[in-house]
Chain A
Amino acid sequence: DVKVTQSSRYLVKRTGEKVFLECVQDMDHENMFWYRQDPGLGLRLIYFSYDVKMKEKGDIPEGYSVSREKKERFSLILESASTNQTSMYLCASRTQGNTEAFFGQGTRLTVV
């Protein structure tokens, strides 16, 4: 089975902190994604990566950056956390093309 692992289930951070969310997949997938999930808004794409060291902005990249130095790992970085970044963050991976995505368990981030 494909496994996508997010490093933390719950995080509480202070405003202004730099926050790292880590995601690792074990199926050699080319594509990896970071979404945030908010009630009534569904999943919104923050960033995606289609290969190592490659990244593309999604629909809401402001305030975020990403890093993909190895194929299996995709990190989301909140440069200076703000309260409006309190949300559920979901990582996903998939093979190339219009295939289904496999999701991690999610990280619920609270910024205080």
Chain B
Amino acid sequence: AQSVTQLGSHVSVSEGALVLLRCNYSSSVPPYLFWYVQYPNQGLQLLLKYTTGATLVKGINGFEAEFKKSETSFHLTKPSAHMSDAAEYFCAVSAGTGGFKTIFGAGTRLFVKA
């Protein structure tokens, strides 16, 4: 069975500062990992995904994440926060034959201060 833990339900950064959102997963088989972003009153949209191959994954809007198998982590980073990055971010894992279930973390709300 898979699970996802996002450390910190709220993260606050200043504009221009580094963004780091933490995600740890549990999976008995090689996982596929995703980060989604949700803006107020919207559905989720994909930021980036890890399937196989290169462990550093680049996504939209300057975000990237690194898959670290030894640490079972998939943390999301952005070098310089922008006001428009304020949103809720969800880490998700999908694994196993067919991969029918995608399991989501509880979410981290990012606040960006001017």
Q: Does A84 contact B (CB under 8 A)?
A: no
Bound together, the chains give a CA A9 to CA B41 distance in angstroms of 9
Bound together, the chains give a CA A99 to CA B95 distance in angstroms of 10
| Residues of chain A lying within 8 A (CB to CB) of residue B101 | 45, 48, 58
Contact with A along B83-111 (1 / 0, CB 8 A): 00000001000110011111111110000
Q: Does A25 contact B (CB under 8 A)?
A: no
Bound together, the chains give a CA A40 to CA B90 distance in angstroms of 11
The one of B32, B43, B51, B106 in contact with A104, judged by C-beta atoms closer than 8 angstroms, is B43
Bound together, the chains give a CA A24 to CA B103 distance in angstroms of 22
| Residues of chain B lying within 8 A (CB to CB) of residue A99 | 32, 99
| CB of B53 to closest CB in A, whole Å | 14
| CB of B57 to closest CB in A, whole Å | 12
A interface residues, tally (CB under 8 Å): 29
The one of B90, B98, B105, B106 in contact with A96, judged by C-beta atoms closer than 8 angstroms, is B98
Bound together, the chains give a CA A104 to CA B49 distance in angstroms of 19
| Residues of chain B lying within 8 A (CB to CB) of residue A104 | 43
Residue in chain A with minimal CB distance to B46: A100
B44:A98 contact, CB within 8 angstroms = no
Bound together, the chains give a CA A108 to CA B83 distance in angstroms of 26
B106:A97 contact, CB within 8 angstroms = no
A42:B107 contact, CB within 8 angstroms = yes
Q: Ordered nearest first, which 9 A-B pairs have the shortest CB separation?
A: A103-B43, A98-B99, A98-B32, A42-B106, A43-B104, A98-B94, A103-B44, A42-B104, A100-B46
Residues on B lying within 8 angstroms of A by beta carbon are 6, 9, 32, 34, 36, 41-46, 49, 51, 90, 94-95, 98-107
Chain A to chain B contacts (Cβ below 8 Å), 12 pairs: A42-B90, A44-B104, A48-B100, A92-B44, A98-B32, A99-B99, A101-B44, A102-B46, A103-B45, A104-B43, A106-B41, A106-B43
